[in-house]
Every structure is written in structure tokens, then in C-alpha cells.
Chains A and B, each alone.
Chain A
């Protein structure tokens, strides 16, 4: 049996077919790539010999359909809950809304989507497992040396000679569109991303800790301020995810995920606290002076501790990742800040 090495990525076909099929994976063999598509009970294999791969194309894919599929039900559920009115309605709205919001957050934070297509003389197919740009980049980093060792590299001067006897495609003749905008690439050199967005995210967490300390759980103020912070953090998170490739240490990734989950959990807990306790006055009450609410105050303290811990660990991970970036400058090339 050929020995295969698993490449990063695990994805499903686009559209409704995703509901009927299992995950696809990509494996690197000695002389070919193996795309494994599965429906759970049966695996189908597509092989791409390194010598025969003519081109690999990657194009960005909009996340809007997925965001709409998750976001619209979330809005509907929240609307229904709010229509019920009162704290009970708010509670049910949060109960339905937060998991969907979390799913949307996960989708956004996993990085930008893409379509990756591979082409040989006899077939052209989509690599479903490489459905995120960072996965595609990482997998290509492993595949390209193999293809280049099997085929060599292209010398631009030899292309006219090669074009005089081009490879014949097995498929029927298709319309060939004229090329527009091929040279629209930006000549400006792109700066290396050094983790600014990550720093903002962890800084926000540190800033939020004293805010939570000053405000009672379930107060209207925390219900307004925490979602705003969550929104800012979400924007930072998505933005950071787009450029995380050069700083992708597992520690840093884990910190970003922990921060996002923490903020989402805080919004959830705030809504539940308000539903259970009712609207609270803004300032934080004394712990001992409010025997009815010690549990919520304890939860509040846990959140503050977690805020600080995640922020500190995040800053340390960022510093370590930046040190790694400085020691390996070649690894950071071509990533925009």
C-alpha cells in the first residue's frame, strides 16, 4: 500500500450536496495526490500524478451564503423572543440567538473561504478539502516542491517554444474567453503582518476586565457595553483570521478562540442574569450586601479572571510568535498587514 501523508484541510462540496456527503480530505503520496471523498460509508478516490498536474487555481468564495444561513435564523429567533416581551422573552431570545451567533462566529473566525481547483490533461476537479485560503496555502506549501521536483520549473523564455506544441486537453473544445485584467496585480510590496490586530483584541480584553468589575451583572449597561466590545472583538478576530498564516502558532490560535468564546459567553451570561435577577442598577453592589446574588457575582469574578488570563496568555503567545517570525523572515513573505 502506498504511504500517504495527510494534508491540512477537511471540507465538503459546496451547496446542498454538503448535506448528503461526508468530509473530503487530501493526501500526499509518493508520486501523486489523492483526493478522498466520502459519504460516510464509501470512499471514492481521485488521483493526480505530480507529473500531470497542469495548474492549480484558487479563487476567493463569499461567506455570505453561510452567514445568511446562520444569521437569518438567529435574527428570527431573537425577534420571536423579543416579541414575547419581558425578561422571559429576552431570556428565550438569548437562548436561541447565542448558539447561532456562536456558530456564525466560528465560521468567520476559521478564515476566508476559497475554491481550489486542480487541472490535469484529462480531468479538472475541485479539491473540497482546501476550502479555506490558509489551508490551501499550507497544503500548497507541501505540494509545490513535489510537483516542481517531478516537472521542473517554468523558464519564461521557454514558454513560446512550449506553446508551439501545447498539451491537448481531453475535454471537448470550450469557449476561451479573452484575458482581461491579467496585469492588474498591485506592484506595491506588501508589508508583513506582525500581529497588530491580535494585540488590539487582547488589549480589549484587558480593558474590559475593570469595566465588568464596576458594573453589576444583569445591569442594562453591561448588556449594551459587552455586545459592543464583542462586536469590536469579532471584527478584530475576523480580520486577524485573514492574516494569521505567518503567526499561526497553536498557542496564539487557542488564545484568539478563547477570547471569542469568553466574550460570547459573557453576553450570554449577562442576558441570563438580567432575565433571572431583573434589571439591575448600574454600579456593582457589595458582594456581602447582596446575599440574593452571590452566584452571579462569583460568575462575574470568574469572567474577570478569565479575561485577564486570556489576555496575558495571548500577549505572551503573540510575543513568542513574533520572535519566531523574526527568526524566520522567509516564512512571512507576501502577507498583507
Chain B
């Protein structure tokens, strides 16, 4: 029997795959499954290259494995790497130490697994302060700070406009204007007294 399996969409139990795209029933929960299988299900996963041991002292060796022959330098730190340590990613060869730094700080979006939506945070804070009006004197400044500070920060991997930032800034400015009006009227009233 083949080791290639597909997981039931409902219960997650592995099933023998159909020979093509077709309807089948889960052997455990009995639910009907519409299954689309692709050649990758049967494609063998390529094994990693073994490191070659250095035979003469003139040969460059790996930074992590002094007994192994270096095959390539790391694209970020320049350390020599053996075939075992070489991680090919996004067209570059990296060492295991530099691979984590190839995340957002390294400018590679393909490794990013999450992003903070500062525009949503700013807008939520602005809207919440409409309800908790007494807090708006502070939150409006916080919102304006967020808008200015994070305006150029990449928002999302997928297309997303900055309309939330604009709305949040608009609400915050409006709140500050109301506060200014209230404080001015209060001060004038106090002077008259």
C-alpha cells in the first residue's frame, strides 16, 4: 500500500488517496469528501546533500564543521559553509545563524508569518474613546502619535489602503477640537465668575 495519504477535511483521519479527483467517503466519520489530488502527493522529497570531509589542510572548511569542506559563503555574514549548513532560500545561500535574520529585518517578506495592523489599532482606539469619552483627551494624542509614527510601516502583505489611519486621525482631531472648545468655554466661564 502507498504511504501517500490525504486527511479527511472533517475528522483529520488519513485516508488512502483516490487515483484522481473524485468523490469518496471518509472511512472513519463517513462524511462525503470531494478530493482533488495533485502529483505532489506522490513526489519524493529531495534529500539534503551530505557534507564532504576535508582531506588536505589547504582546503577551506566550514565555520561550523572544521572537518568538512566549505562549498559556499553565507550571503549575509560571509562565513564559509559546508553542504550541510548551506540553506538555500529565496535565491540566496544562508548559514543557520543568519537564516532567522532573513525575516522582516532582512527585507524578505516571504518568511513573514505575521504583521501587526497598526491602522486597525489606531482606528479601534479612536472609536473606543468615542464611548469612553473621558479617556479621549489622552487617546487622541496616542492615536495621532500612532498615525504619524506608523504611517510608513508596511501594513499587510496583501493590498490594504491607509483609510483606517486617515479615519483614526480625523476622529482624533475632532476629539481634540471638542476638548479645546470645552476647555475654552470652561476657562471663559471661570474668568467671568
Q: Closest Cβ of chain B: how far from A153's Cβ, in Å?
A: 8
Considering the complex, give the chain B residue whose CB is closest to the CB of A155: B39
Taking CB atoms and an 8 Å cut-off, the chain B residues in 1-48 that contact chain A are 1-10, 12-20, 22-28, 30-45
Which of A48-56, A227-235, A241-249, A276-284 is the contact stretch? A48-56
Q: A44-B114, A151-B38 are in contact. Are A168 and B6 (CB under 8 A)?
A: no
Q: List 27 A-B contacts (CB under 8 A).
A: A6-B158, A38-B117, A40-B120, A43-B115, A44-B113, A45-B114, A52-B40, A53-B38, A54-B4, A55-B17, A58-B9, A59-B8, A59-B10, A119-B7, A152-B39, A154-B19, A159-B42, A165-B42, A166-B3, A166-B41, A166-B44, A167-B44, A169-B3, A174-B5, A178-B16, A179-B16, A185-B23
A42 touches B38 (CB 8 A): no
Q: Which residue in A53, A59, A154 is a CB contact (below 8 Å) of B32?
A: A59
- Report A107-130 CB contacts with B as 1/0, cut-off 8 Å: 000000001110111001010000
Q: What residues of chain B lie closer than 8 Å to A147, measured between beta carbons? A: 38
Q: Closest Cβ of chain A: how far from B39's Cβ, in Å?
A: 5
Distance in angstroms between the alpha carbons of A143 and B74 in the assembled complex = 36
Q: Closest Cβ of chain A: how far from B184's Cβ, in Å?
A: 35
Considering the complex, give the chain B residue whose CB is closest to the CB of A43: B115
A168 touches B14 (CB 8 A): no
Binding site for A on B (CB under 8 A): 1-10, 12-20, 22-28, 30-45, 109-110, 112-117, 120-121, 124, 154, 156-159
User: Is A162 engaged at the interface, CB distance under 8 Å to the other chain?
Assistant: yes
**Interface band, chain A:** 35 or more
User: Is A4 engaged at the interface, CB distance under 8 Å to the other chain?
Assistant: yes
Distance in angstroms between the alpha carbons of A52 and B40 in the assembled complex = 6
Q: Closest Cβ of chain A: how far from B38's Cβ, in Å?
A: 5
Q: Which residue in B10, B22, B45, B120 is a CB contact (below 8 Å) of A167?
A: B45
A119 touches B6 (CB 8 A): yes
Q: Closest Cβ of chain B: how far from A154's Cβ, in Å?
A: 6
Q: What residues of chain B lie closer than 8 Å to A45, measured between beta carbons? A: 112-115, 157
Q: What residues of chain B lie closer than 8 Å to A180, measured between beta carbons? A: 25, 27
User: Is A329 engaged at the interface, CB distance under 8 Å to the other chain?
Assistant: no
Interface centre among A55, A140, A152 (most CB of B within 10 A): A55
B158 touches A36 (CB 8 A): yes
Q: Which residue in A55, A165, A168 is a CB contact (below 8 Å) of B35?
A: A55
User: Is A259 engaged at the interface, CB distance under 8 Å to the other chain?
Assistant: no
User: Is A330 engaged at the interface, CB distance under 8 Å to the other chain?
Assistant: no
Distance in angstroms between the alpha carbons of A184 and B18 in the assembled complex = 12
Considering the complex, give the chain B residue whose CB is closest to the CB of A152: B39
B41 touches A54 (CB 8 A): yes
Q: A55-B35, A59-B34, A176-B16 are in contact. Are A167 and B43 (CB under 8 A)?
A: yes
Distance in angstroms between the alpha carbons of A124 and B9 in the assembled complex = 9
A179 touches B24 (CB 8 A): yes
Q: Which residue in A4, A153, A175, A176 is a CB contact (below 8 Å) of B158?
A: A4
B44 touches A175 (CB 8 A): no
A167 touches B41 (CB 8 A): yes
- Report A186-212 CB contacts with B as 1/0, cut-off 8 Å: 000000000000000000000000000
Distance in angstroms between the alpha carbons of A159 and B21 in the assembled complex = 13
A55 touches B27 (CB 8 A): no
B40 touches A178 (CB 8 A): no
Q: What residues of chain A lie closer than 8 Å to B28, measured between beta carbons? A: 177
User: Is A257 engaged at the interface, CB distance under 8 Å to the other chain?
Assistant: no
Distance in angstroms between the alpha carbons of A116 and B33 in the assembled complex = 10
B3 touches A57 (CB 8 A): no
- Report A55-78 CB contacts with B as 1/0, cut-off 8 Å: 111111100000000000000000
B6 touches A55 (CB 8 A): yes
Distance in angstroms between the alpha carbons of A219 and B1 in the assembled complex = 70
A1 touches B109 (CB 8 A): yes
Distance in angstroms between the alpha carbons of A154 and B41 in the assembled complex = 10
Q: What residues of chain A lie closer than 8 Å to B116, measured between beta carbons? A: 41-42
B38 touches A182 (CB 8 A): no
B34 touches A58 (CB 8 A): yes
B43 touches A115 (CB 8 A): no
B124 touches A166 (CB 8 A): no
User: Is A83 engaged at the interface, CB distance under 8 Å to the other chain?
Assistant: no
Q: What residues of chain A lie closer than 8 Å to B44, measured between beta carbons? A: 165-168
Q: Closest Cβ of chain A: how far from B109's Cβ, in Å?
A: 6
Considering the complex, give the chain B residue whose CB is closest to the CB of A120: B40
